[in-house]
Structures are given as structure tokens and as C-alpha cells.
């Protein structure tokens, strides 16, 4: 196993080059045309890799077969960016205003590319490994889109695996959690329509900003007064957009919500109360409201047996001190949850150290963890496909 780690450490500069390129040229969810082309071109440069593009939009599946074994596994990485202005001063800083890889998906892709290159050259396994490069994770669209496009029918696997870097966890260590690990998320957009007018004559208008402000505060009671304190849920208003000038009462306002729950019962209660508050609050101000619901949420549930096996493989590769098999749970969400509904597998965390949290404008993925992530993918492949 030392040979794997040593070799991937030697390949670190190449992974850093891929990582830096992706970081400089971010693309938003389901718009990742150039990113997908770069990934596909890189994969085509490796020997004997079968590359299929356009799966569920910009998704890519790269397959490598070695020996005559009939078993197959899937390794998944995401590659979309966020609509956030990066404020870091880095050599590989985003070159696109208002867009940045501030969740580390560029690093996840670089890790899987590093593993793909290694596996294509060494082929020290017996079976098929399928590397799934997925668009649109941030909007929960990419996973369902690839599944709807026949991901597991066209590219069958016996198990599927995911990984995410995580600030706040010790750098370079791997964390595994059995069962429910991440929350279901429902991304909703609420458009409130009033009556626009002059800021000096509010009596002639109906102000959707005032209605929206009241709604924001009312939504803070949904979890506090309807979800048991022993449970976990959150309702976040991440965007509130209305108007362009201080002396104009806007015609409409848009609120974007991130609603996270961990049980079907709590999800039903929370969503029902959000619907009720949107309708009643806006009605009380004389406004109308429209709710546009996103992809229905799903809890990410790791298969216990696959989680234990993956943790054991990681311990053999990196040592017991570098693997935690009673890892954390988060109210963050992942559309890898939909893949785990279709195929058994597990999703682990790779510690990014003491950095700003993901989605923060100063977040930085530590390039030192790139070879560790790649080595985990290689170790998992070689041990599972003996």
C-alpha cells in the first residue's frame, strides 16, 4: 500500500494542475459544459479508459476493466461550482466574477482523475471500476438526472462510493458513518407579488419587501415550535432579492429557501408549515405568493456493511490512527443520497483541517489532501475488486 501512496504523492503536482485549472474556470450547476469537456479530454489521455459523456446532461462515466472478474464498483465525484464571489488571494483564484469552487468539487474531481490515471496504468484489480463525474450537485439536480438517464442500467455496479472534503475535521483523516449521515434538503423559491410604486407614496402601493421581511422572521419559528428539540432541522432564507433603488417600491420580491430535515415525519411537518406561513403572511399584507419547489429531498443513508468494509480498507491503507469509523452527521445535504437509494454503498468525509467552512467566500481546499483522496479511491478499488 505504501507504493500506492508514494506514487500518488509523486503525481500530486499533476493533480494540483487539474485542480487549479478547474478552480480558475468555475461553472454553475447543470451549466458545466467546458468543465465536462476538460474532464473528458483528460480521461481520454489515459490508456484503455472507456469514456461516455452526456449522461444526465454533462455527466461523465469512465470505465476501466482489468482481468475477467464480473464485479463492478462506482466511484463518484462532483464538479459544479457556486454563485459566490471568492475573496481569497490565491494563484489559482477564480477568474469568473461571482462564481467559485467554494465547496471543493474541483478537488474531488482532481482526486478521481488522479485515481483514474493510476488505475488505468497499473490495473492491479480484477473487474470493472466506473468513475462517475457528476454535474449539478449543489442544486440536487445532477444525481437524479444521471439516474434518470440510466446510470445504473447502462453502467451497472455492485456498490457505489462517494467522498467529500470537510473543514473542521483533522486534515488527511477519513471519517465513516453508518446509517443516516446527511439531511434531506428541499430548495424552494418563493415569489411575493405586491404593487410597485414610488417610495414617497406607500399608500398607493403594496410592498412585497415588507411582506417578505415579515415572512423571513416568521419562518424562524417553524423548527423552533414544530420540531422536537431532540431532532434536527433547519429553515434558511439564503437569498432575498427585490428592487433596484431606494426610492422605488418593488413590484415583487424573491426569497430562496434551503429546508433541511432528517426524518419523513419532520419533513412533512416543516414543509407544511412553510407553505402555511407563506400563504398567510403574504395574504395578511395584501400580496400574493407563488412557491416553486425544487427536487424533493432525500436523507443520505450509508449501507452499514459497505461502510464497515470501506473503513477497514482505509485502515489497512492509511493506518488505524487516520481512520475514524464513528464519524459525524451533518444537516448538510448531498444528491449522492439518490444514488444510495438505487445502489448500496457509502459516503465518507476527508478532513480538510482548520479552514473556513464550505460555501464561505474564503474557503480553501487544502491541496495536500489531493493524493490522500486519490489513494483512498485506488485502495478501495484494489481491495474490493481482488
Compute how many other C-beta atoms are within 10 angstroms of the C-beta atom of residue 55.
Answer: 23
Q: What is the pTM assigned to this prediction? A: 0.94
CB-CB contact of 373 with 163 (8 Å)? yes
Q: For cell 449539478, name the residue.
A: 136
Residue 178 a catalytic site member = no
Instruction: For strands 59-66 and 127-134, give the pairing.
Output: antiparallel
- Structural fold of domain 2-182+300-384: Aminopeptidase (3.40.630)
Asked whether residue 105 is marked as a ligand-binding residue, the answer is: yes
Helices (H), the chain: 2-10, 12-24, 33-44, 105-122, 142-148, 151-154, 208-219, 221-226, 264-284, 304-318, 336-342, 370-384
Tens-digit pLDDT string for the chain (386 aa): 578 888 899 999 999 999 999 999 999 999 999 999 999 999 999 999 999 999 999 999 999 999 999 999 999 999 999 999 999 999 999 999 999 999 999 999 999 999 999 999 999 999 999 999 999 999 999 999 999 999 999 999 999 999 999 999 999 999 999 999 999 999 999 999 999 999 999 999 999 999 999 999 999 999 999 999 999 999 999 999 999 999 999 999 999 999 999 999 999 999 999 999 999 999 999 999 999 999 998 999 999 999 999 999 999 999 999 999 999 999 999 999 999 999 999 999 999 999 999 999 999 999 999 999 999 999 999 999 99
Terminus-to-terminus CA distance in the chain, angstroms? 14
| Catalytic residue (one of 32, 78, 80, 106) | 80
121 is in an annotated binding site: no
On whether 231 is known to bind a ligand per the annotation, the reply is: no
Give the pLDDT of residue 180. 96
Say if residue 164 carries a ligand binding annotation: yes
Catalytic (active site) residue 137: yes
The sign of the torsion formed by the CA atoms of 323, 300, 292, 252 equals negative
Dihedral sign for Cα 215, 216, 219, 224, please.
Answer: negative
| CA-only gyration radius of the chain, Å | 23
Considering the candidates 86, 106, 137, 178, report the single residue annotated as catalytic.
137
Assigned CATH topology for domain 184-293: Alpha-Beta Plaits (3.30.70)
Q: Which of 384, 372, 386, 382 is nearest to 163 (CA)?
A: 372
Q: Could you tell me where in the chain the CATH 3.40.630.10 domains are found?
A: 2-182+300-384
State yes or no: 343 annotated in a binding site: no
The residues of the chain that CATH labels 3.30.70.360 are 184-293
Q: What share of the chain is helix, strand, coil (3-state, %, to 5)?
A: 40, 25, 35
Amino acid at each position: 500500500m505504501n507504493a500506492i501512496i508514494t506514487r500518488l504523492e509523486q503525481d500530486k503536482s499533476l493533480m494540483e494542475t487539474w485542480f487549479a485549472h478547474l478552480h480558475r474556470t468555475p461553472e454553475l450547476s447543470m451549466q458545466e459544459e467546458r468543465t465536462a469537456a476538460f474532464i473528458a479530454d483528460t480521461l481520454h489521455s489515459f490508456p484503455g479508459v472507456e469514456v461516455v459523456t452526456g449522461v444526465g446532461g454533462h455527466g461523465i462515466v469512465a470505465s476501466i476493466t482489468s482481468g475477467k472478474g464480473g464485479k463492478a464498483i462506482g466511484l463518484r465525484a462532483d464538479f459544479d461550482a457556486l454563485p459566490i464571489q471568492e475573496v481569497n488571494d490565491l494563484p489559482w483564484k477564480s477568474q469568473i466574477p461571482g462564481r467559485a469552487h467554494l465547496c471543493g468539487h474541483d478537488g474531488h474531481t482532481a482526486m478521481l482523475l488522479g485515481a483514474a490515471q493510476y488505475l488505468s496504468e497499473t490495473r492491479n484489480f480484477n473487474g470493472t471500476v466506473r468513475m462517475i463525474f457528476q454535474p449539478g450537485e449543489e442544486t440536487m439536480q445532477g444525481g437524479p438526472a444521471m439516474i434518470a438517464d440510466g446510470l445504473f442500467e447502462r453502467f451497472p455496479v455492485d456498490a457505489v462510493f462517494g467522498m467529500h472534503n470537510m473543514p473542521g475535521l483533522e486534515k488527511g483523516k477519513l471519517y465513516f458513518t453508518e446509517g443516516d449521515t446527511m439531511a434531506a434538503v428541499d430548495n424552494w423559491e418563493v415569489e411575493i407579488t405586491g404593487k410597485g410604486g414610488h417610495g414617497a407614496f406607500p399608500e398607493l402601493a403594496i410592498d412585497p419587501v415588507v411582506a417578505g421581511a415579515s415572512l423571513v422572521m416568521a419562518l424562524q419559528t417553524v423548527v423552533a415550535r414544530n420540531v422536537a428539540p431532540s431532532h434536527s432541522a433547519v429553515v434558511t432564507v439564503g437569498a432575498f432579492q427585490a428592487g433596484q433603488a431606494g426610492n422605488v417600491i418593488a413590484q415583487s420580491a424573491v426569497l430562496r429557501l434551503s429546508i433541511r430535515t432528517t426524518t419523513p415525519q419532520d419533513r412533512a411537518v416543516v414543509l407544511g408549515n412553510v407553505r402555511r406561513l407563506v400563504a398567510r403572511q403574504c395574504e395578511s399584507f395584501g400580496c400574493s405568493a407563488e412557491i416553486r419547489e425544487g427536487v424533493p429531498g432525500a436523507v443520505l443513508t450509508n449501507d452499514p456493511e459497505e461502510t464497515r468494509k470501506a473503513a477497514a480498507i482505509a485502515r489497512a491503507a492509511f493506518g488505524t490512527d487516520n481512520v475514524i469509523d464513528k464519524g459525524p452527521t451533518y444537516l448538510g445535504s448531498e444528491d449522492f443520497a439518490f444514488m444510495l437509494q438505487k445502489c448500496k454503498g457509502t459516503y465518507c468525509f476527508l478532513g480538510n483541517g482548520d479552514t473556513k467552512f464550505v460555501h464561505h467566500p474564503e474557503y480553501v481546499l487544502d491541496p495536500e489532501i489531493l493524493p490522500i483522496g486519490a489513494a483512498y479511491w485506488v485502495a478501495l478499488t484494489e481491495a474490493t475488486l481482488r
